[in-house]
Structure 1
Amino acid sequence: MSLNTQTLQPIINFIWTVADDVLINKFLENQYQDVILPMTVLRRLDLALEATKDNVLKTHEAFRDKIDNLSGLLTSEQHGTGLAFYNTSQFTMKKLLADPKNIDSNFLDYLNGFSENVQDIISKFKFRNQLETFESTGITFSLIEKFCNPKVELSPDKISPMAMGYMFEDLIRRFNEKTNAAAGRHFTPREIIELMTHLVYLPVKDKIQQGTFLVYDPCAGSGAMLTQSKLFATNPEGEIKSKATFHLYGQENTGEMYATCKSDMLLKNEDPDKIKFGSTLSEYGFDPDLKFNFMLTNPPYGTTWKQDIENLNVGTAKKISIVDKRFNLPIKNFKGELEETCLTSRSNDGQLMFMLHMLSKMKDPKDGGSRIASVHNGSALFTGDAGSSESGIRQYILENDLLECIIQLPNDMFYNTGITTYIWLLTNVKEAHRKGKVQLINASSEEFYQRMRKNLGDKRVQFNPEHIQTIQEMYFSFEENEYSKIFDNEDFGFFQITVHQPEKDENGEKIIDSKDKPRSDSSLRDIENVPMKDSIPEYFKKEVLPFAPDAWYDKTKMKVGYEIPFSKYFYQYEPLRSLDDIASDILQLESETDGLLKEIVE
């Protein structure tokens, strides 16, 4: 399953030069990818259809006047492509080069010959918008000739979807760097996908040998998580060797990535209709009652979902109130009573909303339940005070015992960000020894990665197979050590209380209100987070009253909060240097510089 990305660099480099050789002065730099990416996909589809071209043309000619819908015949093994798509044009990309004079009209005929599912891909790339510029600048022949060069080896027989996804992401990364554009998403390195698939499937290895399973990615990107997770589970040479049927479902709201994902599903003979276009949060493309066995994703973080909020029909600007059962869930108040609560994160970061969406798509434990792997930044662990939606989402997850493990990844693992990231593993069918528990694994130190010989954007480090093996062994052993800690769910919960101190007059006397109680001084008001396992009165007596003897708190206005301060649990204190050591160093420096000032002055 490992991918040698170095072997792909010559192909990526050649495709990259097409922009400078053909598109320069014809398109703006920020438009290059609007040509290069769809041309790469089209050439890949073209090569996949090459062997069956004559068969398709023969079938089309024989039956086009006799049958209204030829799709079934043209995709069949006997009469067509044996794939889920076809092209009825007489042209292939290579054949287009034989008639340079008419290449523009012939190229349009070629595009129009593709089946409807490929037309959707062409449409999402908005590729036809480029044809007028191709013709007016006279670059159509040169462009097609470049992509037919043997150096651009894009055949699906030789370049897997995993490799293709990597190539696309590397090209997009380069385009974004060239134009100083933010990528807007974090493409997932293949070794992280490998770790995620291992941790999702291996714990239930014996339960997925036969049957039918549904795999889902709500932020599908190029589709790599879907295709590679299926490959891991079904690979006859792999660790699981499942003979079960796996159906792949995904949704993506970026046109170019949706088109890329759908094209690779076609090439893998997966059902392209199981890949939907649109925003998962407000335009979910599948039956609301459809549930999935496995879900893997890397949702956008630090990215606005304001448009989704508007599309979901919300209340006032001050109070978001979405009428959607995915985001309205029961959580306990400080009295321990369940209350239906609208859980909607800040509009500038929707990552936890994707988490709630996936939780709503889990199968019932009676039907085998579900397993989820999702990548997040640190914000998902601790952002949001007690009573906030972010805290409420963590509360719902932990109080329902859905969180199994969180793994901190090394920094600089992603192509376009160096921030700290974490893999969350969730399930509603925990093993007995994990019930009520959460495992935290710190895989961020040098023991768990290798520095890359050459950086790829911001990506400077990578996992090797032995690193992945070490991490999964820690997960399976479920034991505490320097890198693995185990907690009870409630260890992450706390009650937030407001500490009041009396307001006093100029004589130092307490000011009494109309109810004969001391008036609270707002300038002395403070907040205390009391660990859920502690007694609030005992905590108050021990941690507050010794410093503020006349303080009090309102027992009717407490809030429940949950956070996972990951770094705190793995913090290692490094003692300060002793004064003797510091003095010794100073004396050493003085001896080394003795006479230096005298030399300068003289």
Structure 2
Amino acid sequence: MQKAEQEFLKDLDKKLWSAADKLRNNLDAAVYKHVVLGLIFLKYVSDAFEERREELRKNFRDPDHDYYIPQEDMSDEEYDEFIEEELEIRDYYIAKNVFWVPPLARWETLKKNHPLPNGTEIELPNGETYKMKSTAHLIDDANGAIENENPELKNILDRTYSQKQLPADKLGELINLFSDANFNAKEYKGKPLSINSKDILGHVYEYFLGEFALAEGKKGGQYYTPKSIVKLMVRMLKPFEGRVYDPAMGSGGFFVQSEDFIEEYGGKIGQISVYGQESNPTTWKLAAMNMAIRGIDFDFGKEPADSFTNDQHKDLRADYVMANPPFNVKDWWNEKLADDPRWEYGTPPEGNANFAWLQHMLYHLAPSGSLALLLANGSMSSQTSGEGEIRKNLLENDLVECMVALPGQLFTNTQIPACIWFLSKNKTNGTKTPDGKGKGDRSGTVLFIDAREKGYMKDRVLRDFKPEEIKAIAKTYSDWQQDNNDYEDIPGYCKSATLEEIQKNDYVLTPGRYVGAPETEDDGIPFPEKMKKLTTKLKSQFEESEALEEKIKENLAGLGYE
């Protein structure tokens, strides 16, 4: 993305969020989130529809196009009417994977009629009429109409605006806000933009997800993984073709970043198939809308469901699995899981789901697949309730490939220190990477990366990674995998350890145990000489301190204080 486009999106983000947030007043953040994101989605499907509609209008009148409709003996008025009728044929839109938007649900209908009083009868673009009840009812009916015409969106859109008791004036202001926003900008500060309205709306949707996660704090942060962590995991895992699965998908951030990664390498999103699962019904809908905005085909199961007790993809064996499940979940266990075939390396403790998530992901991994899992730091060293034995079995079966220790303060919803596990079913394979290079034989070794000192404070409470840091960490992993002589151990940062070394550390996988301390530059001064100088300096500072203390006592005495 060019600098002008980045600046334009950043400016648009701030303007929209600032304006939308002012309208929230006393609405609960969780309620307001769905109101706003639902309107963004409605604007998206309508804009995409209108973009295709305008393209068709030109094609119908272009003699060189396959869709050309000759005027023949029709008058200009008759010809225009015929073109407009042709534009209402659904197949023209479905053929280009554009959602068919019925007249009631088109943004123009909403924009023109939202201030009208209840009971007003309005005329729709196709000549039909609709009696207004309220703006909220109009949105509900619009979403219902879209779902009826597009089976893939069934039960995904929010049809409860009329139940939220939203002030009509505030809802109207939101509609005006998104109506006035320039989602079709062609230039910014005199510089041309090569970004279409769908990409802009997709970006705004993702930005708002992140801002709502911040607004909701601990309650909302579960469904949103910080973008920089997602980007790091995707860049290291490189999911460029095949089946991609996330069993705790939240709003679908891993899939969005996978799309961006593929496009960066010149591929197409159609190279991957997306599978996900989410137990929270509203978050499940948010993820589906996120995929629809991005034009990503997805299979999120028949319904929102718990991945452990109601696995929606039992037969799936994915090429890549990525997840950020909630850390250290205590109430995950169900008696019917006791002899589950997923616990191949040991039954997880009933009071902590960390190793249940890890083994669930391994179970769904293809024979040459790889996975990335974000977990609490305790997973690297805990010996309680059989966790140490599970970790030992994973290592003895040569499944663990890389461990990354992350810095603190990366999350909006927890201060628990975190790490990333990378596992592979086959560390001897020569799987190709997007740059065409093959992976080398990594059997019997594990790469440890200590990234705790990376990142910067983006504000008073949150840390973030710089883009160059993400690239550097990913390159370290890639160089080690490919065994191309570019990799080397760096004290304090990375170390390629053997299974024997890990056994000596009781199968503990904390990177700090292996990478050691950073090397310090030798200044050439012998230690005794350094110590003498330091001792002399310390003595001088003590003397200065005593003199200062005496001076303060004299001043206090002069003021009448002993």
TM-score in same-fold range (> 0.5): yes
> What's the Cα RMSD here?
3.8
Gaps of 5+ in 2: 57-87, 118-131, 186-195, 429-439, 480-485, 521-526
The structure-2 alpha-carbon separation of the partners of 1:24 and 1:152, relative to structure 1 and needing over 3 Å to count, comes to farther
Q: Deviations over 1:322-351 (max 9, x none)?
A: 231112x25xxxxxxxxxx4x22353x423
State the alpha-carbon separation in 1 of the partners of residues 49 and 269 from structure 2.
Answer: 28
Say which SS state the counterpart of residue 426 (structure 1) adopts: strand
State the alpha-carbon separation in 1 of the partners of residues 422 and 146 from structure 2.
Answer: 41
For the pair 1:300 / 2:341, whether they are aligned, the reply is no
State the alpha-carbon separation in 1 of the partners of residues 93 and 46 from structure 2.
Answer: 18
State the alpha-carbon separation in 1 of the partners of residues 105 and 223 from structure 2.
Answer: 38
**Which of residues 135, 158, 161 in structure 2 aligns to 1:130?**
161
Q: How does 1:87-486 map to 2 (within 5 A)?
A: 87-99=101-113, 100-101=116-117, 102=132, 103-104=134-135, 105-115=137-147, 123=155, 127-134=158-165, 137=168, 139-151=170-182, 156-159=197-200, 161=202, 163-164=203-204, 166-177=206-217, 181-185=218-222, 187-201=224-238, 213-233=242-262, 235=263, 238=265, 241=267, 245-274=271-300, 277-286=304-313, 288-304=314-330, 306=331, 308-310=332-334, 313-314=335-336, 322-327=338-343, 329-330=344-345, 341=346, 343-347=347-351, 349-364=352-367, 369-385=368-384, 388-431=385-428, 433-445=441-453, 448-449=454-455, 451=456, 454-455=458-459, 458-465=461-468, 467-469=470-472, 471-473=474-476, 475-476=478-479, 477-482=486-491, 483-486=493-496
**Which of residues 585, 590, 593 in structure 1 aligns to 2:541?**
585
Aligned to 1:86: 100
Q: Is the 8 A contact 1:85 1:266 kept in 2?
A: no
The structure-2 alpha-carbon separation of the partners of 1:152 and 1:470, relative to structure 1 and needing over 3 Å to count, comes to same
Say which SS state the counterpart of residue 167 (structure 1) adopts: helix
State the alpha-carbon separation in 1 of the partners of residues 170 and 95 from structure 2.
Answer: 31
State the alpha-carbon separation in 2 of the partners of residues 563 and 47 from structure 1.
Answer: 53
Gaps of 5+ in 1: 57-72, 203-207, 315-320, 331-340, 494-530, 533-560
Structure 2 letter corresponding to 1:322: A
State the alpha-carbon separation in 2 of the partners of residues 2 and 423 from structure 1.
Answer: 31
Structure 2 letter corresponding to 1:169: L
Aligned to 1:524: none
State the alpha-carbon separation in 2 of the partners of residues 91 and 244 from structure 1.
Answer: 28
Structure 2 letter corresponding to 1:479: E
State the alpha-carbon separation in 2 of the partners of residues 111 and 589 from structure 1.
Answer: 75
TM-score by length of 2: 0.71
Q: Deviations over 1:498-551 (max 9, x none)?
A: xxxxxxxxxxxxxxxxxxxxxxxxxxxxxxxxx48xxxxxxxxxxxxxxxxxxx
Q: Is the 8 A contact 1:344 1:353 kept in 2?
A: yes
Shift of 1:471: 4.7
Shift of 1:403: 0.8
**Which of residues 525, 543, 552 in structure 2 aligns to 1:596?**
552
User: Paired residues, what number?
Assistant: 468
Structure 1 letter corresponding to 2:498: D
The structure-2 alpha-carbon separation of the partners of 1:134 and 1:344, relative to structure 1 and needing over 3 Å to count, comes to same
The structure-2 alpha-carbon separation of the partners of 1:138 and 1:485, relative to structure 1 and needing over 3 Å to count, comes to closer
State the alpha-carbon separation in 2 of the partners of residues 353 and 117 from structure 1.
Answer: 40
Q: Is the 8 A contact 1:89 1:109 kept in 2?
A: no
Say which SS state the counterpart of residue 148 (structure 1) adopts: helix
Shift of 1:121: 6.1
Q: How does 1:450-599 map to 2 (within 5 A)?
A: 451=456, 454-455=458-459, 458-465=461-468, 467-469=470-472, 471-473=474-476, 475-476=478-479, 477-482=486-491, 483-493=493-503, 531=504, 562-570=507-515, 572=517, 582-599=538-555
Deviates more, 1:431-440 or 1:400-409: 431-440
The structure-2 alpha-carbon separation of the partners of 1:377 and 1:133, relative to structure 1 and needing over 3 Å to count, comes to closer
State the alpha-carbon separation in 1 of the partners of residues 181 and 369 from structure 2.
Answer: 45
Q: Is the 8 A contact 2:405 2:452 kept in 1?
A: yes
Aligned to 1:16: 17
Structure 2 letter corresponding to 1:480: D
Shift of 1:106: 3.6
Say which SS state the counterpart of residue 113 (structure 1) adopts: helix
Q: Is the 8 A contact 2:321 2:371 kept in 1?
A: yes
The structure-2 alpha-carbon separation of the partners of 1:2 and 1:186, relative to structure 1 and needing over 3 Å to count, comes to farther
Shift of 1:586: 2.0
Q: Deviations over 1:122-177 (max 9, x none)?
A: 8557x33331445775654333223222257797533274x346413322124215
State the alpha-carbon separation in 1 of the partners of residues 411 and 13 from structure 2.
Answer: 18
Say which SS state the counterpart of residue 376 (structure 1) adopts: strand
Structure 1 letter corresponding to 2:349: S
The structure-2 alpha-carbon separation of the partners of 1:198 and 1:13, relative to structure 1 and needing over 3 Å to count, comes to closer
Shift of 1:309: 1.6
Shift of 1:214: 0.9
State the alpha-carbon separation in 2 of the partners of residues 273 and 112 from structure 1.
Answer: 21
State the alpha-carbon separation in 2 of the partners of residues 274 and 480 from structure 1.
Answer: 41
The structure-2 alpha-carbon separation of the partners of 1:438 and 1:274, relative to structure 1 and needing over 3 Å to count, comes to same
Q: Is the 8 A contact 1:75 1:86 kept in 2?
A: yes
Structure 2 letter corresponding to 1:408: A
State the alpha-carbon separation in 1 of the partners of residues 2 and 307 from structure 2.
Answer: 30
State the alpha-carbon separation in 2 of the partners of residues 565 and 579 from structure 1.
Answer: 37
State the alpha-carbon separation in 1 of the partners of residues 23 and 494 from structure 2.
Answer: 53
State the alpha-carbon separation in 1 of the partners of residues 215 and 154 from structure 2.
Answer: 20
Q: Is the 8 A contact 1:83 1:267 kept in 2?
A: no
